[in-house]
Structure 1
């Protein structure tokens, strides 16, 4: 069975992880099928990047997500949704501010 999980790379006490599709019976750092992302917990904020279309593809083929990868995906999608929502809220405010400025100049 295929699993999407973390593979440790990096140096001693400075871990960096690759998100890989791997057979579940293979060792953590063993032969993998595909690299679908990476995770760096040592930077602030944590860097987590995946190829969502490849993750979706492998999940559709029956691959399971490890608990850690699932948690990171949920956290990352929540942060992306919050960022997008903030950008959408900021855009109309700027447009309203511009149009209000035009109306104040026209007043008598």
Structure 2
């Protein structure tokens, strides 16, 4: 099952995350199918490719709870 989830990047105690499409059984920092944007938790800076995110969501990819909250805050998805 494909998931829309976060992949951790950055240095120790300075995390930033990439929004990626991955198989749910792969490890957190494994190879993604596609990268769709990034989110920095320290500066709250984010940049998402909205067209690709909606394409993957329409194909049936399930976002994790954290990703769905981030996307709702960015007004990409509505529930």
TM-score (norm 2): 0.91
- Name the one with the larger helix percent: 1
Counterpart of 1:28? 28
Structure 1 gaps, min length 5: 79-108
Higher relative strand content: 2
TM-score computed with the length of structure 1 as normaliser: 0.67
Q: Which has the higher contact order (CA 8 A, sep 6+)?
A: 2
Aligned-CA RMSD value: 1.2
Q: 1:73-106 CA distances to partner (integer Å, 9 max, x unpaired)?
A: 111118xxxxxxxxxxxxxxxxxxxxxxxxxxxx
| Structure 2 gap ranges (5+) | none
Q: How many residues align?
A: 76
Point out the structure with max Rg over C-alpha: 1
Runs of 4+ in 1 over 3 A off after TM superposition: none
